Amino acid sequence: MKIIITGVTRGLGKALAEWYIANGHTVIGCGRSGAAIFDLRFTHPEPHTFDAIDITDSTRVSIWAERMLGVHGTPDYILNAAGISQPSAPLWTIPAQDFSKLIDINIKGTANIIRAFAPALIEAKRGVIVNFSSDLGHSALAGQSAYCASKWAIEGLTKSLAEELPHGVAALTLKPGKVKTDTSSTWAQIDMDGALDAATWAQNAAPYILTLGSLQNGQTLNYPAS
């Protein structure tokens, strides 16, 4: 399978990439950290492709997508794992630029990737878009209003997209539960005792994702199931 992964430099995206590569799939990934991308390129040479792309930059995303589609053809899966959270703080104390940054990455960045790659999937009449959501896309947490808002938005965006896509192409959200990463380390109020590390989570989540297709279009899925 050919799998696009955003947020491939750390956390869940990186753990998924490593599992897919170890199991014979081709990974096309992006993240902002040049050092981490260099390391991924060095460790996992062609046919895998890793580029330092900020998903909030719609122009660069569309140029990158055109290049990746030219080199690799239509991907089978697009995993929109890139995202950030921020230190817990009441909404009225979050500076406007910090609020905007989170919205730009978690919502608009995801939309940029979809805008750039979805036409190829639609033309091929196949492919699955997996947008990473959260339990906080269905609930509230004091101190994480911006993150919650972004994940509620991802649910609405994905369910609407699912209704727009032609038969054969699917969009769904995946809630990864609690996994120890940089993002989850900012959720001071959430008990992370017993949370998996990303590599352990990916061992089962990565093959599970490859079972997802048209039947799951528009659904919100949990992995691990809860």
Tell me which residues are annotated as active site: 147
CA torsion sign for 8, 12, 14, 17 is negative
The least CB distance from residue 216 to ligand NAP, in Å, is 18
Among the listed residues 55, 65, 130, 161, the single contact to ligand NAP using CB under 6 A: 55
DSSP 108: I
Among the listed residues 83, 113, 117, 157, the single contact to ligand NAP using CB under 6 A: 83
Q: Is 6 in the site for ligand NAP (CB under 6 A)?
A: yes
Q: Is 109 in the site for ligand NAP (CB under 6 A)?
A: yes
Q: Which run of H or E residues covers position 9?
A: none
Q: Is 29 in the site for ligand NAP (CB under 6 A)?
A: no
Q: Is 144 in the site for ligand NAP (CB under 6 A)?
A: no
Q: Is 51 in the site for ligand NAP (CB under 6 A)?
A: no
Q: Which of 32, 24, 33 is closest to 76 using CA atoms?
A: 24
Q: Is 10 in the site for ligand NAP (CB under 6 A)?
A: yes
Number of residues that bind ligand NAP (CB under 6 A): 31
Q: Is 157 in the site for ligand NAP (CB under 6 A)?
A: no
CA distance 64 to 82: 16
DSSP 184: G
Indicate the length of the chain as a whole number.
226
CA torsion sign for 128, 75, 175, 16 is positive
Among the listed residues 78, 84, 102, 146, the single contact to ligand NAP using CB under 6 A: 84
Stretch that binds ligand NAP, among 6-14, 89-97, 162-170, 211-219 (CB under 6 A): 6-14
Phi, psi at 29, each rounded to 5°:
-130, 160
The identity of residue 151, as a single letter, is: K
Stretch that binds ligand NAP, among 42-50, 71-79, 81-89, 115-123 (CB under 6 A): 81-89
Query: Is the peptide bond preceding residue 207 cis, with omega within 30 degrees of 0?
Result: no
Q: 3-class secondary structure for 78-106?
A: EEECCCCCCCCCCHHHCCHHHHHHHHHHH
The residues binding ligand NAP (CB under 6 A) are: 6-13, 30-33, 36, 54-56, 81-84, 105, 109, 132, 134, 176, 178-179, 181-184
